[in-house]
């Protein structure tokens, strides 16, 4: 039996790149969709918050010196592009998904409406939240924490390219150890960068656990929702 009934999956835009410099790697997104489909078929309700770094990275040169709010709105639109690509890949895999955006773009995606999102989840659809919170200066990490609390998710699953939270940077320190579990207070005292400060504080205040794991590892999402020792659990 799955350990969770409703989860919020935070996917970074970079996770969609595969080995490419920017953009979307089709083989990578299809593999992720296959894993999401497998977990959804187990009866787990899945909502996804997606970043836009993979697309915005390709525009980084042109964004140099740009007003921060303008750059953030461009980043929000990049998340909508990623959400549509993910929805399309799910459609081809036979998975029904809905994109809801914090920015109004009604001809392309639904606006974010909490009761509608929860109804989609109850009907077994995947819900993809795009455009972050709809406000500049807030990251998609914060959007993940906010949407997770709003829809009553049991946990935020932060998908990265690293298989958990380490005592030090594992790329620089071969002796760095992975934490299986760690409390919010411990992570703060040890200055471990789990999520941005706003998102982290919201999860702690709402007693929303966070699981950090590697989306690159095949089968990691299923192992996590089954409650196996995968990634790092950050808890109250």
Asked if residue 205 is part of any domain, the answer here is no
The answer as to whether 61 is a domain residue is: yes
20 is in an annotated binding site: no
> Does residue 66 belong to any structural domain of this protein?
yes
137 is in an annotated binding site: yes
Q: How many helices (H) and strands (E) does the chain have?
A: 9, 9
Q: Domain tally for the chain?
A: 1
Per the annotation, does 135 bind a ligand? yes
Q: Is 105 annotated as a binding residue?
A: no
Annotated binding residue 138: yes
pTM of the predicted structure, to 2 decimals:
0.93
In a domain, 98, yes or no: yes
d(CA 152, CA 8): 9
CATH of the domain at 75: 3.40.1160.10
Any binding-site annotation on 11? yes
Burial class (CB in 10 A: 0-12, 13-18, 19+), 31: middle
Residue 186 lies in a domain: no
| Domain housing 132 | 6-139+147-161
Please tell me whether 65 is known to bind a ligand: no
Per-position pLDDT tens, the chain of length 236: 899 999 999 998 888 887 777 778 888 899 999 999 999 999 999 999 999 878 766 565 556 678 889 889 988 999 999 999 999 999 999 999 999 999 999 999 999 999 999 999 999 999 999 999 999 999 999 999 999 999 999 999 999 888 999 998 888 888 899 999 999 999 999 989 899 999 999 999 999 999 999 988 899 999 999 989 899 999 99
Q: Is 70 annotated as a binding residue?
A: no
In a domain, 55, yes or no: yes
Please report the beta strands in the chain, taking only residues with DSSP state E, as ranges in sequence order. 6-11, 45-50, 97-101, 110-111, 126-130, 155-160, 181-183, 210-214, 232-235
160 is in an annotated binding site: yes
Q: Is 122 annotated as a binding-site member? A: no
Domain annotation covers residue 201: no
72 in a structural domain: yes
Establish whether 73 is an annotated binding residue: no
């Amino acid at each position: 039996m799955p350990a969770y009934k409703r989860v919020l999956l935070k996917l970074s835009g970079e996770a969609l790149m595969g080995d490419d410099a920017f953009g979307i790697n089709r083989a990578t997104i299809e593999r992720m969709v296959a894993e999401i489909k497998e977990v959804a078929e187990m009866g787990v309700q899945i909502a996804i918050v997606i970043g836009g770094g993979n697309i915005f990275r390709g525009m980084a040169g042109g964004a140099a010196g740009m007003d921060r709010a303008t750059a953030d709105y461009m980043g929000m639109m990049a998340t909508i592009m990623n959400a549509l690509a993910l929805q399309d890949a799910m459609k081809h895999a036979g998975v029904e998904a809905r994109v809801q955006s914090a920015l109004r773009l009604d001809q392309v995606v639904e606006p974010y409406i909490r009761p509608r999102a929860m109804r989609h989840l109850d009907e077994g659809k995947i819900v993809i939240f795009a455009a972050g919170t709809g406000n500049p200066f807030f990251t998609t990490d914060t959007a993940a924490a906010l949407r997770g609390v709003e829809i009553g998710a049991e946990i935020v699953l932060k998908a990265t390219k690293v298989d958990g939270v380490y005592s030090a940077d594992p790329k620089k320190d071969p002796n760095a150890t992975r934490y299986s579990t760690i409390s919010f207070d411990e992570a703060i005292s040890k200055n471990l960068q789990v999520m941005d400060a706003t998102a982290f504080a919201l999860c702690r205040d709402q007693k929303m656990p966070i699981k950090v794991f590697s989306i690159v590892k095949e089968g990691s999402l299923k192992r996590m929702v089954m409650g196996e020792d995968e990634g790092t659990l950050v808890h109250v």
